[in-house]
Amino acid sequence: MSASRSENSALVSSHSPNSLIPHPLLQNDPAFIVSKIKPQTLKGFRDFLPETMLSREHLMQTARDVYRSFGFAPIDTPALEYTEILLGKGGDESDKQMFRFTDQGNRDVSMRFDLTVPFARFAAQHLNELGTPFKRYHMGAVWRAEKPQKGRYREFVQCDFDTIGTSSNAADIETLMVIHELMDRIACGEFTIRVNNRKVLNGLLEKLDLTEQSVNVLRALDKLPKIGREKVLAEMTEQAGIDNERAAQVLDFAGLSGTTEELLTQVGAMVAGNETGETGVAQARELFDVASSAGLPAQRLQLDLSIARGLDYYTGTIYETFLADLPGIGSVCSGGRYDNLAELFTSQPLPGVGASLGLDRLLAALEELGKLETASTPTQVLVTIFDPAWIADSFRIARQLRKSGLAVEVYADHKKLGKQFQYADKKGIPIALVAGEEERATGSWQVKDLRTGDQSPYPEAELAGHLAELLAKNC
């Protein structure tokens, strides 16, 4: 007979100060059966297994290395901001997609939807400590309550870099250089960086007397690749409230094609006499001229007059990067110049420019293209345990090899060598070390390349160098 509930209080075993666990005698008592919680993630959110995390960390480290090479310094900001900091900075869509709530202190707070708006707040708040121009990079999660789809999630990581405190076109040019270096270093195949300038677009809108409708017009124009000309035309006339003739002129402008020089000549004529438009054309011309002089491949750069970028805060040069082998996934590295974003936080002008690597979208693309590594561990070398009595030798050689910069793991159990090799192969560990009686007597280790099946003995003194060569040769 099971104990009564009043008696059961004495029949518990405490394994920690914060947990009460039923006594083993009561484990099968129906009164103590606790319903299991279904393990699941929220829609639009994900767990990451080691295979994915290794690829994510590799991309983030690549971005970190590139950003540092250009002199950008790391910062971080909180996931939560006062809602007034974020509200209205990215446009109506961003406002609708914010995760917003009242916290325990009855404060109106929201989770950041990008890293740029928090950076503008950060720069204004710490201006005296930072000085200008200030160059930063920031890698962190952001949240948008949008409809999940392939390569697009409600929680995702951005890898941003920005220069703030200067309106010089040199900063815009450097932003292009960083994007190119980043994409080149990632080795994701051929890509195209499409560039436009909001000043050119705004100049045209000013000449068409559409300045007051510019926000809605540019939002509609940004949807052109997704919904096509006719639907954008309808949105401009219905939501932006402009007539068909001027809406068609904007779309005709965005649809111009030709070489960079031909396009600059055409748009230069179209915005002639408008200071904003002429400035935009001059900045775009200088950007492409300098990029050419610096040796950036012309086929990787494109002046695309249809790019508008959906966020409202862009004011000058804008960038979008597309993979040649998978253009349909959208831009994997985007950004632009924002000269007025920080003005709500400080009276001092803080013009900025930067871009963001869309880590999750790029990983989805690389996975689809079959360009992700399949290893589920960072281990490069597995040291086997040939005999439990010799385990000290396995840990000793592993420690020595780690000192030489290798990632080395000692197998956690004594099993047949075949089982240990299977473990390494399943994890994607390329090399295993074995030392039997003969190797112990000669002070050597058998080096087995699990990728090729080749195996040879090497003296301990030569082991680290040989392993490094073997890993480099077959990476």
Residues 323 and 394 in one domain: no
Number of domains making up the chain: 3
User: What pLDDT, on the 0 to 100 scale, is given for residue 1?
Assistant: 41
Residues 188 and 270 in one domain: yes
The reply to whether 374 falls in a domain is no
CATH code, domain with 407: 3.40.50.800
What pLDDT, in 10s, does the model give residues 137-162? 999 999 999 888 776 789 999 999 99
Residues 146 and 269 in one domain: yes
By residue count, the chain amounts to 475
The reply to whether 44 falls in a domain is no
Which of the 8 DSSP states describes residue 329?
A: G
The reply to whether 390 falls in a domain is yes
Average pLDDT, the chain: 89
Separation between Cα atoms, residue 461 and residue 33, nearest integer Å:
59
Residues 68 and 26 in one domain: no
Q: What is the pTM for the complete model shown?
A: 0.82
The reply to whether 39 falls in a domain is no
Q: Show the tokens assigned to 270.
A: 């179209």
The reply to whether 437 falls in a domain is yes
Q: Give the 3-state secondary structure of 333-400.
A: EEEEEECCHHHHCCCCCCCEEEEEEEHHHHHHHHHHCCCCCCCCCCCCEEECCCCHHHHHHHHHHHHH
User: What pLDDT, on the 0 to 100 scale, is given for residue 434?
Assistant: 96
Type of residue found at 88: G
Separation between Cα atoms, residue 312 and residue 315, nearest integer Å:
8
User: What pLDDT, on the 0 to 100 scale, is given for residue 29?
Assistant: 63
Q: Which domain holds residue 85?
A: 50-368
Average pLDDT value for residue range 87-105: 87
Residues 132 and 246 in one domain: yes
Q: Show the tokens assigned to 120.
A: 């503008």
What pLDDT, in 10s, does the model give residues 271-322? 999 999 999 999 999 999 999 999 999 999 999 988 887 667 889 999 999 9
CATH code, domain with 198: 3.30.930.10
What pLDDT, in 10s, does the model give residues 381-420? 999 999 999 999 999 999 999 999 999 999 998 899 999 9
Residues 385 and 356 in one domain: no
Which of 340, 368, 396 finishes a domain? 368
Residues 208 and 236 in one domain: yes
Residues 223 and 300 in one domain: yes
The reply to whether 337 falls in a domain is yes
The reply to whether 182 falls in a domain is yes
User: What pLDDT, on the 0 to 100 scale, is given for residue 93?
Assistant: 80
| Closest of 109, 100, 96, 87 to residue 146, by C-alpha | 96
**Predicted confidence (pLDDT) at residue 99 exceeds the cutoff of 90:** yes
Q: 38-42, 167-171, 222-226, 425-429: lowest mean pLDDT where?
A: 222-226
Burial of residue 93 (CB within 10 Å: 0-12, 13-18, 19+) is: middle
Residues 314 and 400 in one domain: no
User: What pLDDT, on the 0 to 100 scale, is given for residue 33?
Assistant: 62
| Closest of 333, 338, 355 to residue 120, by C-alpha | 338
Instruction: Name beta bridge partners: 338.
Output: 352
User: What pLDDT, on the 0 to 100 scale, is given for residue 6?
Assistant: 42
Residues 95 and 199 in one domain: yes
Average pLDDT value for residue range 183-200: 94
Residues 124 and 209 in one domain: yes
Which of 318, 335, 368 finishes a domain? 368
Q: 11-20, 192-201, 213-222: lowest mean pLDDT where?
A: 11-20
What pLDDT, in 10s, does the model give residues 4-56? 444 444 444 444 444 445 555 555 666 556 789 999 999 999 999 998 899 99
Separation between Cα atoms, residue 26 and residue 33, nearest integer Å:
9
Which of 318, 345, 368 finishes a domain? 368
Residues 327 and 393 in one domain: no
User: What pLDDT, on the 0 to 100 scale, is given for residue 151?
Assistant: 64
CA distances from 120 to 4, 123, 340 (A): 63, 5, 10
User: What pLDDT, on the 0 to 100 scale, is given for residue 247?
Assistant: 87
CA distances from 190 to 231, 291, 323, 374 (A): 31, 17, 6, 22
The reply to whether 304 falls in a domain is yes
